[in-house]
Structure 1
Amino acid sequence: MDKPSIAVPVGTPAYVPLPEHAPLMGAPSQVGQWSTGLFDCTSDVSQCCLTAWCPCFTFGQNAEIIDRGASSCGVSGALYSLIGMLSGFHFLYACAYRSKLKRQYGILGSPLEDLCTHIWCHPCALCQEHRELEHRGYDVPLGWYGNLEKQNGGMGMANPPMVPGGMSR
């Protein structure tokens, strides 16, 4: 029996499949592109100001959503701050999350672009990532689990915990 062939159109960005428990939030405005520009900070002035004065908050919120709850906002923000205080290379840590976000949503661009963006426009990059998550339907300050609960209609956890069986001999 012949194996069926799968045709993939040329130029189609590679998408990373989301896990089953991932909230499938809104579709991008254009495949392969950011939903807003790097310098569209005036679309959310309060977020821009927060990021300019305390980038660790914005980074932590973004990282929790990008990591799908594997890391918390507080831990990510604290690690970001610690790296910044000890070495000044916190932008490298943030750059890795930008690349991860782009892979998750099929946004085109090279890691070198991500690095340059975070070196020269770090607050703008964090704000753009925050806006991208919002355009995807996330309420970023709620965090990953808050968004799961919101998606499930406030019903609590997505899956109830497993209850072990009774005693047996």
Structure 2
Amino acid sequence: MATKLVIQQPRPIVVAASTDQWTTSICECDSVNECCFSVWCFPCFACITARDHGQCLCLPLLDACGLIPPATLSMRVATRKRYGISDTICNDCVYSFFCGPCSWCQIRREMKYRLHPVTLLNNRPMG
């Protein structure tokens, strides 16, 4: 008589650190490649980031339409709302106007941090 052997993998516990602050400052650079890409080819970087955020690929091209870049401002606000980051619209306006590429880099870093904050822990003791 054949017996069935059932092996079940231990289920991981997902631990995600959440905070109500930006995980990086506006001028932080965790990837030199991304920072250089945002400075030297800013429209491409902004369009790719908008696409990865689930928005229209061409959304950042609207930034040429106003004094305060509307797409950058809206992306900052959307990112804050999506991840529960407490900040002010005044800061969003200042960063959007004076620090466009750095602002998009911060949005990208936040997306990467919040979408990949997984730490797997074995819920059974080893040995």
Say whether the fold is shared (TM-score over 0.5): yes
- Contact 2:27/2:102, CA 8 A, preserved across alignment: yes
CA RMSD of aligned residues (A): 2.2
Q: Secondary structure at the match of 1:136?
A: helix
Structure of greater Rg? 2
For 2:20, the equivalent position in structure 1 comes to: 32
For 1:55, the equivalent position in structure 2 comes to: 42
TM-score computed with the length of structure 1 as normaliser: 0.53
Q: 1:83 to 1:95 in 2, by over 3 A?
A: closer
- 1:97 matched to 2:85? The reply is no
For 1:81, the equivalent position in structure 2 comes to: 61
For 1:137, the equivalent position in structure 2 comes to: 115
> Which amino acid in 1 is paired with 2:35?
C
TM-score computed with the length of structure 2 as normaliser: 0.68
> Which amino acid in 1 is paired with 2:83?
Y
Q: How many angstroms does 1:83 deviate by?
A: 4.4
> Which amino acid in 1 is paired with 2:28?
D
Gap regions ≥5 residues in structure 2: 1-14, 117-127
**Cα distance in 2 between the residues matched to 1:38 and 1:101:** 14
Count residues with an aligned counterpart: 102
Q: 1:82 to 1:96 in 2, by over 3 A?
A: closer
Q: How many angstroms does 1:93 deviate by?
A: 1.6
Indicate the percent of aligned positions where both proteins have the same amino acid.
25
**Cα distance in 1 between the residues matched to 2:16 and 2:95:** 24
- Contact 1:56/1:81, CA 8 A, preserved across alignment: yes
State the 4+ residue runs in structure 1 displaced beyond 4 angstroms.
none
For 1:155, the equivalent position in structure 2 comes to: none
**Cα distance in 2 between the residues matched to 1:96 and 1:72:** 13
**Cα distance in 2 between the residues matched to 1:90 and 1:58:** 19
Q: Which has the higher strand share?
A: 2
Q: 1:88 to 1:45 in 2, by over 3 A?
A: farther
For 2:121, the equivalent position in structure 1 comes to: none
For 1:127, the equivalent position in structure 2 comes to: 105
**Cα distance in 2 between the residues matched to 1:58 and 1:32:** 26
